[in-house]
A and B are shown apart, each in its own frame.
Chain A
Amino acid sequence: MADAPLRIVVIDVDVLRASVIEDGLREAGHPFVTVIGEMRGLMRRVVEIDPDVIFINLENPNRDVLEQMFQVSRTVQRPIAMFVDRSDTAMIEAAVDAGVSAYVVDGLKKERVKPILDMAISRFNAVSRLRDELDRARQALDERKVIDRAKGILMKSRGIGEEEAYTLMRKTAMGESRRVADVAQSIVTAAKLIGG
């Protein structure tokens, strides 16, 4: 008899990250994925769905809400446990590094669940990397704008061309062991204060 399809819940207020995990799960052949982004009434929703696997990001204080599910009680029919193989410390470390924790209902086979865990870990990491790249790209763009403004200020106040202005900033930066972007910011700030 084939295994019943797994019901998976992803708890994350980060809509982008949650949808990346959800997509990955569906692509891997798991149609029953619910994303919970609203933390109020979390326990009730989780109990309603009665999932086999729950993912939650580590910064989420509502992790403690899930702690109630470790024991069978009137509200919790099937107790859950953290990670499917608690002796797999490498996997657990990888999950913690990625910022995700996984809860699995008692009795699920390791082989079924590990691929899902691995995928969630790798997607959490992918989102982090994407975000870091995005931050770096934004910062580079902002710095580009400041450098352009500084060039304009130098060109106007010293009557020099664009290339000469940039060379001047670069030499100053090297001489003071600073970044060109920081020198540019100083120029922009000084021009604002000095006026004109």
Chain B
Amino acid sequence: MLSIGFIPLVDCAVIAVAHDKGFAAAEGLSLALVRETSWANIRDRVVLGHFDAAQMLAPMPIAANLGIGGFDAPMVAPFSLGLGGNAIAVSTALSAAMQAAGGGSAEAGPAETAAAVAAVIAGRAARGEPPLTFGMVHPFSCHNYELRYWLASAGVDPDVDVRLAVVPPPMMVEALRDGLVDGFCVGEPWSSQAVDEGVGRIVAVKSALWRQSPEKVLGLRAAFAAERPELVDALIRALYRAAAWADRPENHPELATLLARPDRVGAPAAQILRALSGRLVVAPGGLARPLPDFLVFHAHAANFPWQSHALWLYSQMVRWRQVAHTPEHAAAARATYRPDIFRRALGPVGADLPAASAKVEGALTRPTPVASTSGRLVLGPDGFFDGRLFDPDDLEGYLASAG
């Protein structure tokens, strides 16, 4: 019996499917899924051993290993639960202001919308108005880093020119409606919920900020992973097959219904289906727009715990002064993600495994075959919207140039 914690978001899908569609049972595993209300609870219960594993924000196990997580124990992330899935939404008022500043076209990419929000910020500052507030889910979240990366690309200092505040996902729509925040970055279904309620407009999506980027991982205590390797391997195999099932478009209606249950995500199935299919309605009353790779559960090696992902997340922790950069810290961050465990679990069942454990992020501009065990693996495109590259072997160079 394995106790697994999760948060009610669309990207709990792989864990839910592993249980609900029998993939765990097929591996001889009995899973007890526990729906939690905060990332802090998830972290605490994993540290205390109440959970054997949990859905975690991709940066969380890294923060734990760096000793900056708040309540830490050594952790490992041997499996990624998917790529993409977040969106940045702003209030209708801010959206109007951004449009007036020239960044509101439906086809506007992250660079244009960032420039528009920067212009709004500058205008407000010149008129002595209070700074804009943006919500995100946790200090150690991709949402936090995405907001910062997006704002900083247009010259906004996220710690000076705006206020970034943690808001629990279920409270984000209300916070936007009541003006407590002017925008937020959150996982689905919450941005779609803001649009459906007519209080917000989606101005950027994670898949456009950094295509095929990490979001949630399976986190475990390092001690548990070392003591029960056979259990961990069985869990990884169950999740891998669950991810493959969840990725198939013909399964999406059933998956949306499954996730709509109150003991899973509890949002309307039709809304969840939009996120699964990558066809989001970005403005109230608007039409659904196809967003390639918006949410990927399995394709393009989505489940592989790339150490370059771990190092990029570390680079953002350094950039935003959450941790000081030392070679020891970088090594600890890199070693948090465990492709060796992934390979150990999935090699025996013939999964197509990448030959490398890290890659230059942002280097692939189109789907590209890469070296793998069966020679059929295709990765990419995986670009950052500003065209930058992240070479995990030149961390110092990236840190120096990040600004």
Q: Which residues of A contact B (CB under 8 A)?
A: 39-41, 43, 58-68, 70-71, 73-75, 81-83, 86, 89, 92-93, 96, 101
Contact = CB atoms under 8 A, between A and B. Distances in A.
26 contacts: A39-B171, A40-B174, A58-B37, A58-B41, A59-B37, A60-B37, A61-B38, A62-B38, A63-B40, A64-B38, A64-B166, A65-B165, A65-B166, A67-B39, A67-B40, A67-B70, A70-B70, A70-B139, A71-B68, A71-B139, A71-B322, A82-B70, A83-B71, A89-B48, A96-B44, A101-B40
Contacts of B64: none
B138 A67 contact: yes
Nearest to B178: A40
A67 B168 contact: no
Contacts of A59: 37
Contacts of B328: none
Contact of A81 (B70, B163, B180, B321): B70
Contacts of B140: 67
A75 B165 CA distance: 10
- Minimum-distance CB pairs A-B, first 6: A61-B168, A63-B40, A63-B38, A61-B37, A65-B166, A82-B71
Main secondary structure of the interface of B (DSSP, over half): loop
A62 B168 contact: yes
Nearest to A75: B163
B175 interface: yes
Contacts of A70: 68, 70, 139
A87 to B, nearest CB: 12
Contacts of B178: 40
A62 B44 CA distance: 15
B176 to A, nearest CB: 12
Contacts of A66: 40
A40 B177 CA distance: 12
Contact of B159 (A58, A67, A74, A93): A74
Contact of A64 (B45, B71, B137): B137
A66 B71 CA distance: 13
A65 B168 contact: yes
Nearest to B135: A65
Contacts of B173: none
Contacts of A41: 180
Given A60-B37, A67-B39, A96 B137 contact: no
Contacts, number: 75
Contacts of B68: 70-71
Contacts of A40: 171, 174-175, 178, 180
A86 B47 CA distance: 11
A65 B168 CA distance: 7
A19 to B, nearest CB: 22
Nearest to A80: B70
B155 interface: no
A60 B175 CA distance: 16
Contact of B165 (A43, A71, A93): A43
Contact of A61 (B50, B139, B159, B171): B171
Nearest to B137: A64
B283 interface: no
Contacts of A86: 71
B290 interface: no
Contacts of A81: 70
A67 B180 contact: no
A15 B322 CA distance: 35
Residue among A68, A83, A89 having the largest count of chain B Cβ atoms under 10 Å: A68
B330 to A, nearest CB: 19
Given A40-B180, A70-B68, A70-B70, A63 B41 contact: yes
B249 interface: no
Contacts of A92: 48
Contact of B166 (A43, A60, A71, A83): A43
A11 to B, nearest CB: 12
Given A61-B37, A96-B44, 12 more contacts: A43-B165, A62-B171, A63-B37, A65-B167, A70-B139, A71-B68, A75-B163, A82-B71, A83-B71, A86-B71, A96-B45, A101-B40
Residue among B37, B45, B50 having the largest count of chain A Cβ atoms under 10 Å: B37
